[in-house]
Structure 1
């Protein structure tokens, strides 16, 4: 039982995913700090005055619960875009290259598909002669 567990943990895919997760969390912290301490002050300055950020006060002045903070949303959007770019270029692209060297295709374009006339399933492969769902013969 423990040997099977050890073999599962030592598979290359599990290790790649674990390392990718650790790297992604580290970059997440770095990017969060960048948006909090660089992007947010720039966005808040765009509002001018003594405003807490880029946005509008909907209720009583000074009540943060009714402050519509567009700057925080823009900052979160920038954070997301930077984080996804880092994940793609530092994790996905090298993983695709590694798997291509092993002869495997990952994150590729989906195979062409057609619709089954009997059950109307839309993801039947073009080369299939029978529908995988209803078993009807395809022309």
Structure 2
């Protein structure tokens, strides 16, 4: 039982995912600090006149609970875009490259599929001669 657990942990995929999560968390902290301490002050300054942010006060003046803060929303969008770009360029692309050298295709285009005329399942491989779900004969691929 412990040997199986050890084999599971030592698989390459588990290690890659664990490292990816650690790197993603570190970048998340860095990007959050960037948006909080660089982007937010710029957005607040664009509003001008001592405003607490880019947006509108919906209730009594100075009440942060009733302030519609568009600056925080723009900051969250910037955070998301930068975070996803870093994940893509620093984790996904190198992982695809390493797997390609091993002969494994990851994150590739889906394989061509056709739809069964009897059961309407749409994930039958294009080269299949029978439907995997209902067993209906399939026409040859065009």
* TM-score, normalised via structure 2 length: 0.93
Q: How far 1:72 moved relative to its partner?
A: 0.4
**Matches of 2:132 and 2:51, distance apart in 1:** 60
Q: How far 1:121 moved relative to its partner?
A: 1.5
Partner residue in 1 for 2:133: 133
Q: How far 1:26 moved relative to its partner?
A: 0.4
**Which runs of at least 4 in structure 1 moved beyond 4 Å after TM superposition?**
none
**Structure 1, unaligned stretches of length 5 or more?**
none
**Matches of 2:50 and 2:131, distance apart in 1:** 65
Task: Tell me the C-alpha RMSD between the 2 structures.
Answer: 1.0
| Alignment map for 1:93-104 (pairs within 5 Å) | 93-104=93-104
Partner residue in 1 for 2:113: 113
**Matches of 1:131 and 1:47, distance apart in 2:** 61
Q: Deviations over 1:24-46 (max 9, x none)?
A: 10000000000000000111111
Partner residue in 1 for 2:75: 75
Q: Secondary structure at the match of 2:129?
A: coil
